[in-house]
Amino acid sequence: MSVKYTVLSLKGTKLPKENPLPFYKDRNRNRKVNIQESLRKEDNSLLGYETAPRFLPYKIQDRYDRDRSVVTYKAIVMENNILKATFLPEYGGRLYSLYHKQLEKDLLFTNPVIQPANLAVLNAWISGGVEWNVGQYGHSFTTSLPVFCGVLKDKNGEEFLRIYEYERCHNLFWHLDFHLPEDSTTLNMYARIVNDQDTVTSIYYWSNVAVKETRKARIFSGAEEVIYMDMKTREFGKGKMPYLPIMPEKDASYPADFSNSNEYFFQTPIEEKAPWEAVVYPDDWMFFERSSNLLRYRKMFCWGSHKGGQRWKDYLSEEGQGDYIEIQGGLAPTQLHGMIL
């Protein structure tokens, strides 16, 4: 196994620059969330807590364009005899690609370009790979910012990669440790978030895994119950897979059957020791991720089959090359549920 610092030349734009003017948080720290009767009382605990927009002390990253050229980005490559993982330290440590050498296959949706768009807390966001969101609701403060990286050794003398940062809004320390033993067919990640203050703070953590979208790709998890968003009424409801009230005549495990952008959250039972989520393709290929039971909840996100959703996918990539869906893992029942650390 080896870890090395290198560069990656891709078609894209230069790194986003910051707006010198401050953007202020919402006067209300909590966000109003509309719900349907199908949500039980216990489902509403901390719903909307500390999820209103916050920015400072970070600055908005809205200084970027679409003048694409071949740009050289810093990269870290971690590989064994089976897998090759490429990280982008200038984009929050995003796992840009995970390549299976023996199968000669990209396991993730690997975007051929780097194109920011206004989708993150601080504006600039790119699609593809795996994004690590720590701190505040949304695509996190550091998603398009440089983070610290280092190569360390574990107790057995094996090297591993650590990505780490100090989150300045909530005053949290976090680090992600990536291990890839020789002969391993899985990339292993250990996450730690530390609040060393004398007072509690709100916490948010979701990892967003972009995988290739096809017409017959299906999403599965170890839970039948999901919390869904009714996009017509902007309300959260609760139902059971695969037929949800928002599209009762279609199987919701097929993201391509959603006409509009949508999402649902798998409510994994607390007894589940290793929560998981997977995408299965018609050619019998499957990609999965799983975790300890602390990272209990899972989510599906899709852009939908309408023109607007397709436009977004193309806008973030090259036309016809940007189709992806996301399988996500988080600490709370939905991304609008707060947590206290």
> pTM of the prediction?
0.96
pLDDT grade, residue 230 (50/70/90)? very high
pLDDT grade, residue 146 (50/70/90)? very high
What is the average pLDDT across 126-136? Answer: 97
Residues 60 and 123 sit within 8 Å (Cβ to Cβ) = yes
Phi and psi for 203 in degrees, rounded to 5?
Answer: -140, 145
What is the average pLDDT across 170-180? Answer: 98
What pLDDT is recorded for position 302?
Answer: 98
Type and span of the H or E element at 315: helix 307-315
How far is C-alpha 48 from the geometric centre of its chain's CA atoms?
19
Following DSSP, what letter does each residue of 75-98 receive, concatenated? EEEEE-SSEEEEEEGGGTTEEEEE
DSSP state, 312?
Answer: H
Options 2.10.60.10, 3.20.20.140, 1.10.3720.10, 2.70.98.10; CATH of 2-330 = 2.70.98.10
What pLDDT is recorded for position 210?
Answer: 99
Residue ranges of domains in the chain: 2-330
Cα dihedral sign for 97, 100, 104, 105? negative
Strands 235-240, 225-230: pairing kind? antiparallel
Mean pLDDT of the chain: 97
User: Within 13 Å, how many C-alpha atoms sit on residue 241's CB side?
Assistant: 23
Residues 112 and 103 sit within 8 Å (Cβ to Cβ) = no
- At 230, is the secondary structure helix, strand, or coil? strand
Task: Using CA atoms of 304, 307, 313, 319 in order, give the dihedral in degrees to the nearest 10.
Answer: 140
Read off the pLDDT of residues 287-327 as tens digits, 9 standing for 90 and up: 999 999 999 999 999 999 999 999 999 999 999 999 999 99
Read off the pLDDT of residues 58-113 as tens digits, 9 standing for 90 and up: 999 999 999 999 999 999 999 999 999 999 999 999 999 999 999 999 999 999 99
Lowest mean pLDDT among 23-32, 190-199, 208-217: 23-32
